[in-house]
């Protein structure tokens, strides 16, 4: 099956071009799929560059880095909870490992629940 629309040769965009594209995306009321189709981009490239430009510490301004460090310093570190050795089972096949029922609240309504019986 042939495409009715000829494909444009892929261009390598630099960081500045990707920043401009992502700014246009933020202003557009389109889904990623629609935006990429309109701009003739692959979705994988879009997500890669969006992730890269939002998390690259070399490209983060000094003020933002400083405020992030200050905010992180204010968050209390949770205490370590030593649960002992969970995997140490007896070599005796009659002795069963102790049951485990562990629930960890991750925040934001998420929790991790581990059960071993």
Q: Do the domain assignments include residue 6?
A: no
Q: Do the domain assignments include residue 117?
A: no
Q: What is the pLDDT of residues 32-61, one digit of tens each?
A: 999 999 988 999 999 999 888 886 555 555
Residue 103 pLDDT: 85
Per the structure, the complete domain to which residue 45 belongs is given by: 15-74
Q: Do the domain assignments include residue 29?
A: yes
Q: How much is the average pLDDT of 71-100? A: 65
Q: What is the pLDDT of residues 99-111, one digit of tens each?
A: 778 888 888 888 8
Residue 14 pLDDT: 86
Q: Do the domain assignments include residue 94?
A: no
The CA–CA distances, whole Å, from 37 to 5, 28, 40, 42, 49 equal 12, 13, 5, 8, 16
Residue with tokens 């998420």: 110
Three-class DSSP category at 40:
coil
Q: Which of 26, 53, 23 is nearest to 45 (CA)?
A: 53
């Amino acid at each position: 099956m042939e495409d009715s629309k000829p494909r444009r040769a892929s261009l390598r965009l630099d960081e500045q071009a990707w920043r401009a594209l992502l700014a246009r995306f933020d202003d557009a009321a389109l889904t990623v799929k629609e935006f990429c189709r309109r701009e003739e981009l692959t979705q994988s490239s879009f997500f890669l560059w969006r992730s890269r430009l939002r998390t690259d510490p070399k490209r983060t301004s000094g003020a933002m880095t400083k405020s992030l460090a200050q905010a992180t310093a204010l968050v209390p570190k949770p205490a370590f909870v030593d649960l002992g050795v969970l995997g140490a089972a007896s070599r005796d096949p009659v002795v069963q490992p102790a049951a485990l029922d562990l629930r960890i609240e991750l925040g934001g309504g998420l929790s991790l629940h581990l059960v071993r019986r």
